[in-house]
Amino acid sequence: MRRPVHAILGTVLLASVVLIQGGCTKRETRDILYIAMGAEPPELNSTKATDTESGMVLGHVMEGLTRINAAGMQVPGVAESWKLTDQGAVFTLRPDARWSDGRPVTANDFVFAWRTAVDPKTASEYAFILFPIKNAEAIVQGRLPPTQLGVAARDDRTLAVTFEKPCGYFLALTSFQTYFPIREDFYTAQQGRYGSDKENLLYNGPFKLTQWIHGAALRFEKNEQYWDQARVKLKRIEVPYITADDSARFNLFKDRKIDLLGLSKNSLDDAVREGFRLKKFAEGSVWFLEYNFISGRLTRNKNLRKAIQLSFDAEEFANKVVGIPGTVPGISLIPGWMQGKSAPFRSEYPVTAVGRDIEKARAYMAAFMKEEGLGKAPSLVWLTGESPLAAREAEYFQNLLKTVLGIELKIDKQIFKQRLAKMMAGEFDIVSAGWGPDYADPMTFADLFASWNENNRGKWKNASYDALIRKAQATTKAAVRMDSMAAAERILLDEQPILPTYERSVIYTHSDRVSGIIRRSVGADPDLSEASARE
């Protein structure tokens, strides 16, 4: 904690402060990057972290077997080479990968971390991401001890993984935070406080945390023990501000206090006026409306879902309601930026966009009302969150469905936990939801609507869809996997258990003195590890 400012001085200071501030010391800038974060990382224990802030910090201070490079490709990290088969994988670790205390990163550190993550005592929310590894699920369920996990250190530099069943996207998982290494002796020495403060963490990434004032500030310093020194140009990354307020961050950027700024729809005009250099990137998430399939819900009727689909103009929505350049109108579940076999998935398996067709929409609506024996258009419950965009979206659809189909939308706005509870309990007709990818493979989206997935909130169940996903999950052959997922997506788009609305885009700017900031759809974002900063 910084020295507390004494209250008694307050009034006196109030008068004199203006004078003091004028002659304030100039802050250091060379090779230092200043940023603001929206919230402080709630958890830096890599086996338990789930949120984006923790993911961003961990991505800078730790490194897994592989990492994602500037071009979005999976490249060697702690592992220098690997061999993947249908039954498992063998990773060879580089000899010069070290922890921040100078000791080498060994295969045992991975074994320990992964066992800890699936241990029921750890209660990791992300334990499921290790399920491709043999026995992982049984261990989480408490049926087997963690030592039975299908991972072993053949020697210090050889890590052998056994799969539960063939897994075609395992490599994409190895850069994910739950797969990061943890050294056992250090972990046990922290007595349950691992990752709770800067001293309670051992680093093997390009940076290490040297300051962490809760709720106020973080400081990253270059990790001299990191094996790939050539990659890191910055001396420090400073996070002197933590605030969720968009306009506050905007003003901090304008005042040259921070070097990187994400822009909301409402600040775009100001940013253009200020002459900021604007850039954009695909944030990665896909947004959609999810219909409820629990018995008794009208949304089970396909004609109703078709009617809504044909009333909707995704391009108008992206341009006028979301209003962020780069927003992709929603046409499918798997987003446009996702790689397929060798090119973007969408270019290998194109989908035709269904535009607005009001006459057809009304015909479907009439058919629906006839089937359900309804005299007048029904009212539906629309469950949504409390963000300004969620509110705008809800009101847009309320007006749209009223004018085109006569449907009365009842907007059920709920704060975070109450909304989740209602989603789980199926207390909605339509819920507006989004999904961000965990790893760089179409499967992170495709298995979302398998009937066994807990995140399939509408409880849509389709036997052919399930079969295709199972098929894709049981092979390492890229062509078979991608074909199956594309076929599954076609079923989904025809049956319309969801109506894709948009793929999110982010507009951001950075100060002229910095370069090399990497923004990405999967993994730690922003990635500042290769950035550089002038005076």
- How large is the greatest C-alpha to C-alpha distance in the chain, in angstroms? 78
The helix/strand/coil state of 335 is coil
Closest by CA position to 195, among listed 48, 39, 37: 48
Cβ closer to another protein: 72 or 153?
A: 72
- Tell how many helices (H) and how many strands (E) occur in the chain: 17, 19
Site for another protein contains 343 (CB under 8 A): no
Contacting another protein within 357-416 (CB under 8 A): 358, 381-383, 386, 388, 391-392, 394-396, 398-399, 409-416
Site for another protein contains 280 (CB under 8 A): yes
Cβ closer to another protein: 95 or 388?
A: 388
Give the tokens for residue 404. 């085109």
Burial call 450-481: b when 16+ CB within 10 Å, e when fewer: beeeeebbbbbebeebbebbebbbebbeeeeb
Give the tokens for residue 365. 């609506």
Kindly report the three-state secondary structure assignment for every residue of 451-518. CCCCCCCCCCCCHHHHHHHHHHHCCCCHHHHHHHHHHHHHHHHHHCCEEEEEEEEEEEEECCCEECCE
Question: Which part of the chain contacts another protein (CB under 8 A), choosing from 83-91, 116-124, 488-496, 519-527?
Answer: 116-124
Site for another protein contains 459 (CB under 8 A): no
Closest by CA position to 183, among listed 119, 98, 126, 124: 98
How would DSSP label each residue in 424-438?
HHT--SEEEEEE--S
Do 301 and 405 form a contact (C-beta atoms < 8 A)?
Answer: no
Do 305 and 299 form a contact (C-beta atoms < 8 A)?
Answer: yes
Site for another protein contains 75 (CB under 8 A): no
Contacting another protein within 28-67 (CB under 8 A): 36, 42-43, 45, 48, 50
Site for another protein contains 495 (CB under 8 A): no
DSSP at 177: G
Site for another protein contains 501 (CB under 8 A): no
Q: Which residue in the set 73, 75, 189, 272 belongs to the binding site for another protein (CB under 8 A)?
A: 272
Cβ contacts of 5 within 8 Å, gap of 6 or more: 13
Binding mask 177-196 for another protein (x = CB under 8 A): ----------------x-xx
Q: What minimum distance in Å lies between the beta carbon of 126 and another protein? A: 8
The helix/strand/coil state of 218 is strand
Please name every residue paired with 500 in a beta bridge, in sequence order, or none if there are none.
Answer: 288
Q: What minimum distance in Å lies between the beta carbon of 256 and another protein? A: 9
Q: What minimum distance in Å lies between the beta carbon of 476 and another protein? A: 24
Question: Please, what is the Cα angle at 342 between 282 and 87, to 5 degrees?
Answer: 105
Site for another protein contains 267 (CB under 8 A): yes
Map tokens 């993550």 to a residue.
117
Cβ closer to another protein: 159 or 261?
A: 261
Site for another protein contains 68 (CB under 8 A): no
Site for another protein contains 513 (CB under 8 A): no
Map tokens 């900031």 to a residue.
517
Contacting another protein within 202-261 (CB under 8 A): 213-216, 240-245, 247-248, 251-252, 254-255, 257
Site for another protein contains 149 (CB under 8 A): no
**Chain center to CA of 457:** 19
The span from the CA of 434 to the CA of 36, in Å, is: 25
Q: What minimum distance in Å lies between the beta carbon of 112 and another protein? A: 19
Site for another protein contains 266 (CB under 8 A): yes
Contacting another protein within 319-338 (CB under 8 A): 319-321, 323, 325-326, 329
Site for another protein contains 342 (CB under 8 A): no
Site for another protein contains 431 (CB under 8 A): no
Site for another protein contains 454 (CB under 8 A): yes
Cβ closer to another protein: 2 or 376?
A: 2
Site for another protein contains 455 (CB under 8 A): yes
Closest by CA position to 426, among listed 284, 240, 528, 296: 296
Question: Which part of the chain contacts another protein (CB under 8 A), choosing from 76-84, 264-272, 287-295, 466-474?
Answer: 264-272
Q: What minimum distance in Å lies between the beta carbon of 367 and another protein? A: 23
Q: What minimum distance in Å lies between the beta carbon of 78 and another protein? A: 25
Strands 430-435 and 207-213: unpaired
Contacting another protein within 118-137 (CB under 8 A): 120-125, 127-128, 137
Cβ closer to another protein: 95 or 142?
A: 142
Site for another protein contains 532 (CB under 8 A): no
Number of amino acids touching another protein (CB under 8 A): 117
Site for another protein contains 77 (CB under 8 A): no
Say which amino acid occupies 44: L
Site for another protein contains 418 (CB under 8 A): yes
Q: Which residue in the set 80, 228, 316, 495 belongs to the binding site for another protein (CB under 8 A)?
A: 316
Cβ closer to another protein: 148 or 264?
A: 264
Site for another protein contains 348 (CB under 8 A): no
Site for another protein contains 1 (CB under 8 A): yes
How would DSSP label each residue in 39-54?
S--S---TTT--SHHH
Site for another protein contains 22 (CB under 8 A): yes
